[in-house]
Structure 1
Amino acid sequence: MYVSLCLMLLPRFLLAALMLWLLDFLCIRKKVLLKMKERQDSPDDPPVCVSDSNKMFTLESLRAVWYGQKLDFLKSAHLGRAAPNTEVMMVQERRRVRILDCIKGKRPLILNFGSCS
């Protein structure tokens, strides 16, 4: 299973690694960051600093990319597919039920993720 997962994720990972490696070239980084600076929406954003001291292609960044792509691939909810039937807590009744058990007829199901703060 793990080998097949690795083979499926490898092309996306290599593309992301290539992009990080290209961003380590100062001339490319300057162009990308200056375009980002032009699109800055908020005056509260920190100024864009282009330097050669902070590398994008590091072992830590590659680990983060691999982990993120693995999480994205293994998630249970996917666009266009059936929703996962996970457990939710019925607050008023204080019991756990499956989401799809709450559907009534053809009415849309609305979940309210309230705040506890």
Structure 2
Amino acid sequence: RHNHAAVCLLLLPRFLLAALTLWLLDFLCVRRKVLLRMREREPSPDDPPVCVSDSNRMFTPASLRAVWYGQRLDLFKTAHVGSAAPNTEVVVLHEPKRARILDYARGRRPLILNFGSCS
């Protein structure tokens, strides 16, 4: 229970900064919408009408949950710049066994991992 409170205290400043950023972005979108409405009162033949919807809001409960989750994942990640690489377990495709990533490193040659897409 003590650890949970400590994690929350560590995450809170980062979370609040991200939430403030989302709020500012929403504020700018709302401000733009107000300015567009004011401009619509005085139509100009040179400017085409612009549609701004309320569905593209960023400061929502779902986005705040996603920010909190992302900050928590970032805090507990095992890979850090300048530190030793984590030696994660992997599944060997052509054999029914498991190995570790660093088992494939050879001497001083760098090990390159390519995370591709199947789509």
Q: Shorter-normalised TM-score: what interval?
A: 0.5 to 0.7
Aligned length: 100
Identity between Structure 1 and Structure 2 (%): 66
Q: Which has the higher helix share?
A: 2
Q: Flag the 1:14–1:107 CA change in 2: closer, same or farther, 3 A.
A: same
Q: Flag the 1:24–1:89 CA change in 2: closer, same or farther, 3 A.
A: closer
Q: Distance in 1 between matches of 2:32 and 2:76?
A: 33
Q: Distance in 2 between matches of 1:85 and 1:29?
A: 50
Alignment RMSD (CA, Å): 3.0
Deviation at 1:114, TM superposition (A): 6.4
Decide whether the 8 Å contact of 1:88 with 1:98 is kept in 2: yes
Q: Give the letter for the 1:22 counterpart.
A: L
Decide whether the 8 Å contact of 1:22 with 1:28 is kept in 2: no
Structure 1 or 2, whichever has the larger Rg, is 2
Q: Structure 2: any 5+ residue segments left out of the alignment?
A: 35-49
TM-score by length of 1: 0.65
User: What is residue 42 of structure 2 aligned with on the other side?
Assistant: none
User: What is residue 85 of structure 2 aligned with on the other side?
Assistant: 83
TM-score by length of 2: 0.64
